[in-house]
Structure formats: structure tokens, C-alpha cells
Structure 1
Amino acid sequence: MHWPWLWITLSFAKLPQKVIWRYKGDRPASLGNNTLLVDWMPQTDLLRHPKIKLFVAHGGTNGVQEAIYHGVPILGLPLIFDQRDNLFRIEVRGAGKIDFFTMNKHTFLQGIQEVVNDPSYTTNMQILSQLMKPLDTALFWIEFVMRHTCAAHQGTESYKLLILLKSKWLRTVKQKKICS
């Protein structure tokens, strides 16, 4: 087993939490009893579960967006291209931590414990998550307009519809009387 996988398995084994790890290959000998290895699992279903405390990810765009949407903080292990930049943006906002180039068996475990035990990471990610739900924003503004009807520019024009329909109906009735 290569060094980063060994450090990851040893770190997971020391955690009191249960770990679900997408891993293909033979079961590592150093893997603890708290870790479930899966070939594949629907990531969004996993991230949506209320007991998920941390998402260890490489920082691909889809994974980062899904973690933001579900409000789950990230411990990032960027490998290529845009992943480091994606994770840097998460780290700057206090919603995750990057730990690859400095990673060893101690810093990886410390990174996990820091993100899991410091509620600010979850809070910051949940703040980012709120920005991603357009239905909530739409409902807020609909209810706001309903509460504050005195602001004419925020109101609806539907009250004029009755007048338009009524005047159109009267014109139609008058035309029928004239033509008959």
C-alpha cells in the first residue's frame, strides 16, 4: 500500500466516528473496524444524511458543489487541475481545509479532527448552502411582498386585471347590442 493510503487508513482507524470510504481494491490491512469500504454509493444521498460530519474529497467541481448544497464541510486532497483552486475557495470561506502537500499521518488525522470538532466549519458551509437554494429565495420574496403591500413597486399588477376584463366584457356586450 502506498504512503498516502496507509496514512488515510491509519487516521480513519483512530476516529470514534464511522467512516464510509469509496475504495476499489483489496481491503487494506491497517483499516479499522469503523470503516466501511464501498465500490460505489450515491454521493448526494450520503451527503444529505443528517449525521454526515465531513466529506474527504479530491475537490472536483461536482463534489464541491454537492457538499456546498448539502452543507457538509470538506477536507480536501487535491490531485489535479482545478481541484486545488476549488478547495482553496472553500478553505478561504472557512468551510473546509486543504491537506495534501503537507499531509502525513499526523496532519491528516488532525485535519479531520479539526473540521469535525470545530462547529465553525459546518456553520460556514451551511451559510454557503443557503445561497444555493433558489426555492427558498423565491419563497422569501413572495412572502415579503405579501407582508409589505404598501410598496407599489413590489406589488402585483393583477388587481388591474379585473378592470380590464370588466371593460372588455362591457365592450363585447355593447357591440352585440349595436349589431343586433
Structure 2
Amino acid sequence: MNLGIIGQAAGLFAVTNIDDILILSLFFAQGAGHSGSAGRIILGQYLGFAAILTVAIAAAFGATFLPESAIPYLGLLPLALGIKAAWQVWKHRSDDGDEETEAKTGGPRALEVAAVTFANGGDNIGVYVPVFATAGISGMTVYAIVFLVLVAAWCFAGRHFATRPVIAKGLSRWGHVLLPAVLIAIGLLILIEGGAFGL
């Protein structure tokens, strides 16, 4: 296996997914203390990233599951999830850490994480397609393997940051507010940068 292409794949993944570590940290902080939440977050991250890879690989072969004009509208996914999360925070504002409410939420669901991962990585598809198209089948395979290995590293890094005492304290205090704010901001950014709705 060519070390050069492995390095290129690792670099491309890091550059296009650096913002994902913050989102993963927020998800891990939200799921702290909930049984099985880490597994659901990791599963969601893999599902979302596998969807990105599938679309990018298909597009590299000339199939277009997702027209380029539709990509900006992926911003509606994190926007909707952010509004939903903000509504939950508002609804439970007087609970003041009520354990019963915490138990009910149970941390993020795999499909929510997958939706945010896919929407946040929608613009990555445009970067991956030409790279995959020129890499050929063997090169594309290396890229896919490296990317999938690095998804695990990203999950580890997100969980690591979320469990550092200083960060964990801040996230446990403000994470319930930060997560909806970040999701809404990401959604709006994707919509605005992509010119959705003529923005």
C-alpha cells in the first residue's frame, strides 16, 4: 500500500473534518452518564460518514444520487435538530438538572448523529469526488479505508475532549445550550454558504 496516498488521505480527512471534533465532543458530553450513548454516537458517526463516502464514490463513477444544487439544503437537517434540542432545553429550563428528565433523554440517538454528520459533511462530497475520480478504484479503496479508520480516531478524540476535567465541567454546565446553538449555526452556515433559498 502506497504510503504517499495514505498520507494524502489522512490529510484530506483531517482538513475536511476538523469541525467534527467539536460536534462529537458536544454529543459525547450530552451522552455522559447514559448507558450505551457512546456506542450510539460512534454508530451514528459511522453511518453518517458511510453515507458521505457512498455518495462521493457513486458521484466519482458518474452517478448523481444528490444533485449539487441539493447539497446546501442539507443544512436543514442540523437546523431542525438544533431547533428541536433548543426546544427541549427551553421546555426543561425549570427542571434544573432533574434526574428524571436526564434519564428520559438518554443522550443522542444514532440517527441524529448520522444526520448531523452527513449534513455537516455534505460540502466534503464536492472535495472528495474529483479526488476519488482521479485516484482510480485501488486509490479510492485506500482513501475509504483510511477515512473509516480515522472516523474511529475522531470519535476517540471527541470523547477524550469531552471527558477532560476542565472541558467536561464546562460542557456539563453549558453543553445543553451549546449543542443546539452549534447545530443551528452549522445548519444556517450550510444554507447560507450554499445559497439555499436564494440566501
The two structures share one fold, judged by TM-score above 0.5: no
Normalized per residue, which structure has more strand?
Answer: 1
Report the TM-score, using the length of structure 2 for normalisation.
Answer: 0.24
Higher RCO, Cα 8 Å, sep 6+: 2
TM-score, with length taken from structure 1? 0.26
Comparing both structures, which one devotes a greater share of its residues to helix? 2
